[in-house]
């Protein structure tokens, strides 16, 4: 863990407080969204004591020192899981709240989340996550399977995606107002016992970006700490703010392949399935090109194969 604590604002921000929550926010890129998130956290209504921790993951634009905030500066960019692990190592409160930097919080978000999670004290709890347009991002999901990723990869099925939520692994019971245990919840906003996170070993840092929260919840579920979707609480999530789309596709694809092979899929099965889907996409896009659509079938095919090909995901 190569981090330097560069700012602590003032006072002892590491003191344990009754009911306190350590909030860990990884940062990489433009500081503005993270600063806005911190402003929203400072003004939360009815919230317990919050220990605010920002982890600058070797950002090209460094995060500024901020009053009342522990800022940890990593010497190298390790990705989401590594950044959270660095922040969690400095967390002193009973509960850990991991937040993406590109979230928009309501004034009572923290208190509402804690109240909704109170019947489930030893869980990983997450709110309903929606985009800035209000559309659900399906925060409650099924354990990933090869068929989910293949269906999602197939371009001919894109037009039917709204009717294929379960086929790509989304738990369609997870709608506004629903509260229920699920296989796993989206990592944009996670509330969990800090001791359970540490006992599980934190995030697996070999996932650079994406899927690390699924891997963690597999281990926590096996240890008796299930995941719960709290559809009575909502948070807005921009998403995709810290990387370009081509890199994100490779990150998520490589992370999914690693997860599949780590958790029992036959080696190479997901790569084989995705390559087959890419061949279907090539034929489909060639037909579209013949019909005059502005698509580049061969370039798209090569780009897909590059995302599937073994190699560094960074």
- DSSP codes, 252-277: HHHHHHHHHHHTTPPTTHHHHHHHHH
Which pLDDT score is estimated for 314? 60
Give the Cα separation of 114 and 189 in Å (integer). 12
Supply the pTM of this predicted model: 0.92
On average, the pLDDT of the chain sits at 93
Report pLDDT for 240. 52
Tell me the pLDDT tens digit for each residue of 232-282. 999 999 865 444 587 889 999 999 999 999 999 887 999 999 999 999 999
Say if residues 54 and 66 touch (Cβ distance below 8 Å). yes
DSSP H or E run through 102: none
CB 61 within 8 A of CB 30: yes
The pLDDT of residue 155 is: 97
Give the integer Cα–Cα distance in Å for 278 and 155. 8
pLDDT per residue over 27-64, tens digit each?
999 999 999 999 999 999 999 999 999 999 999 999 99
User: Which structure tokens are listed for 190?
Assistant: 């996670």
> What secondary structure does DSSP assign to 34-100, as a single string?
HHHHHHHHHT-TT---EEEEEEE-S-SSPPPP-TTEEEEEESS---HHHHHHHHHHT--SSEEEEE-
Q: Would you state the structure tokens that stand for residue 140, as one six-digit string?
A: 């409650």
- Residues (pLDDT < 50) of the chain are 9-11, 241-243
Q: Which two tokens stand for residue 94?
A: 């009973």
- How far is it, in rounded angstroms, from Cα 276 to Cα 286? 16
User: What pLDDT is recorded for position 4?
Assistant: 63
Residue 170 DSSP class: B
| Residue 32, helix vs strand vs coil | helix
> CA geometry: angle at 102 spanning 86 and 174, to 5°?
100
- Reference 54, options 26, 79, 75, 35; nearest CA is 26
pLDDT number for residue 242? 47
Q: Are 218 and 143 in contact (CB under 8 A)?
A: yes
Neighbours of 29 (CB within 10 A): 17
pLDDT score of 238: 86
Residue-level pLDDT at 10: 40
Beta carbons within 10 angstroms of residue 307's beta carbon: 21
CA nearest neighbour of 18 among 76, 92, 81: 92
């Amino acid at each position: 863990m190569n981090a330097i604590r560069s700012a602590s604002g003032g006072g002892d921000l590491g003191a344990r407080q009754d009911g306190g929550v350590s909030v860990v926010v990884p940062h990489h890129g433009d500081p503005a969204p993270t600063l806005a998130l911190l402003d929203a956290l400072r003004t939360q209504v009815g919230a317990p004591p919050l220990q605010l921790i920002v982890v600058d993951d070797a950002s090209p634009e460094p995060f500024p020192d901020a009053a009342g905030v522990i800022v940890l500066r990593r010497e190298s960019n390790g990705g989401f899981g590594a950044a959270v692990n660095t922040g969690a190592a400095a967390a002193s409160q009973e509960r850990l709240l991991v937040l993406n930097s590109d979230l928009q919080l309501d004034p009572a978000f923290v208190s509402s989340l804690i109240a909704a999670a109170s019947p489930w004290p030893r869980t990983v709890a997450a709110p309903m996550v929606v985009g800035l347009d209000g559309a659900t991002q399906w925060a409650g999901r099924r354990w990933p399977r090869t068929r989910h990723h293949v269906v999602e990869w197939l371009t001919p099925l894109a037009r039917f995606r709204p009717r294929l939520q379960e086929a790509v692994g989304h738990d369609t019971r997870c709608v506004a107002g629903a509260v229920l245990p699920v296989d796993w919840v989206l990592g944009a906003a996670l509330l969990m016992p800090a001791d359970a996170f540490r006992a599980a070993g934190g995030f697996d840092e070999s996932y650079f970006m994406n899927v690390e929260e699924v891997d963690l919840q597999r281990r926590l579920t096996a240890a008796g700490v299930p995941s719960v979707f709290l559809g009575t609480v909502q948070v807005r999530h921009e998403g995709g703010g810290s990387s370009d789309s081509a890199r994100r596709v490779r990150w998520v694809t490589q992370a999914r392949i690693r997860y599949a092979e780590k958790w029992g899929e036959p080696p190479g099965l997901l790569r084989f399935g995705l390559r087959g889907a890419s061949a279907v996409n090539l034929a489909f896009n060639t037909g579209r090109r013949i019909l005059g659509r502005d698509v580049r079938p061969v370039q798209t095919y090569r780009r897909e194969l590059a995302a599937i090909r073994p190699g560094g995901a960074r």
